[in-house]
Amino acid sequence: MTEQETVSRPRVAVTFGDPAGVGPELIAKLLAQPQTSQVADILLISDETEIADAGADAGTVIDYVTEPTPGRPLLHRTRGVRPEGGFVRQAATAEGGRWALDALATALDLARSGEVDAILFASLNKSSLHLAGMTQNDELHWFEEVLGADGFTCEVNVIPGLMTSRVSSHVSIAEVDPLITTERVEGATRLLHRMLAGSGLENPKIAVCALNPHAGESGKFGRHEIDVIAPTVEKLRADGLEVSGPFPSDTIFLRARTEEFDGVVTMYHDQGQIAMKLIGFDRGVTIAGGLRVPICTPAHGSAFDIVGQGIANLGATQHAFDLAVSIGSQVRASR
């Protein structure tokens, strides 16, 4: 490896997710791929026990170092404290949630100091995080608080050929209505446009979902489309963005799947996630959009039901890593 290759490779912090789930197995499988350490400098936010257990789950041995060595994953010890007797597997626990949060906090510290260019974390369990004391609804809002984010943020979901952003996310359906505002629809659309443009699309085509069935039927089923969404779309079009809508959400993904659109702005969590997981579950990735550091994770859950069987599908984790490397490379080039 040349000196230039070493300097230009992105540095990616990797955490193993909830220790009760399939995250450790998937990270071990990722690290077993020879190309993984060829495309990025990897910092494993973990400890020796977790690394060994992850390898056992995956039926492999993770080859890592404790001193910087080109082309080898480097152990960076987590601030977390391992409980006596280890972790309960296949169940949400406060101990597992705390371990996962502490590893992420360590990774965020490295990002803030410029020591890493991107973060990949394996699947978490929100029940574990809340048992551990996380008061935010999800990890994105926890990231916001830790990093001091001051702009619009939302989860961006990615499968090959398509991205979605959300105007609202991890809230009760009863709480969605007041969140559909001009500012939030515009924020989610502009963020999605920036991410699509950053992926190399010169003039990305974005569709915006309606909130109500049949796009409200001209106000019969609600006026969100008339009063909020359509005027925001027109404003964005006037600013030069190729945006259209609002479209009924029960058909827009049929059009997006044929590459008529590069991205879809959704109004709430399941409006987009059901479609994205049906189209590409084994390649689905969630990016914490709008933060100062790219943070990527597979879009599936912690899969307690298959822990320890060695059958977890690497596809989404591999795609999340590939995106972390791609976006992290852009971050590193801009420094």
Q: What is the pLDDT of residue 7?
A: 60
Give the residue from 137, 144, 217 showing the smallest Cα distance to 179. Answer: 137
Q: Is residue 23 part of a domain?
A: yes
| 139 and 202, same domain (yes or no) | no
The answer to whether residue 2 sits within a structural domain is: yes
Classify residue 175 by burial, with Cβ atoms within 10 Å: 0-12, 13-18, 19+: exposed
Residue 154 inside a domain? The answer is no
Q: Tell me, yes or no, whether 332 and 250 share the same domain.
A: no
Q: Which helix (H) or strand (E) holds 154?
A: strand 154-159
Map tokens 């590459």 to a residue. Answer: 259
Residues 235 and 296 in one domain: no
**SS3 call for 164:** strand
Verify that 328 and 260 share a domain, yes or no: no
Is 325 contained in some domain? Answer: yes
Query: 238 and 129 in one domain?
Result: no
Please state the rounded mean pLDDT for residues 185-189: 98
Residue-wise pLDDT for 53-77, tens only, equals: 999 999 999 999 999 999 999 999 9
Structurally, how many domains does the chain consist of?
2
Q: Are 52 and 31 in contact (CB under 8 A)?
A: no
Q: Are residues 11 and 127 in the same domain?
A: yes
pLDDT of residue 309: 95
Rounded CA separation 227/92 (Å): 42
Does residue 14 share a domain with residue 68?
yes
Strands of 214-301, DSSP E:
242-247, 263-266, 285-289, 295-298
The CA-to-CA distance between both ends of the chain, in Å, stands at: 22
Domain of residue 43, residue span:
1-149+291-335
Q: How far apart are CA 78 and CA 102, in angstroms?
A: 7
- Whether pLDDT at 4 is above 50: no
Is 180:211 a contact under the CB 8 Å cutoff?
A: yes
Q: What are the tokens at 105?
A: 């906090």
Tell me, what CATH number does 233's domain have?
3.40.718.10
Residues 30 and 55 in one domain: yes
Reported as a single tens digit per residue, the pLDDT across 234-281 is 999 999 999 999 999 999 999 999 999 999 999 999 999 999 999 999
pTM of the model: 0.94
Q: Check whether residue 3 and residue 44 sit in a common domain.
A: yes
The structure tokens listed for 208 are: 């915006």
- Give 205-244 pLDDT, tens digit per residue: 999 999 999 999 999 999 999 999 999 999 999 999 999 9
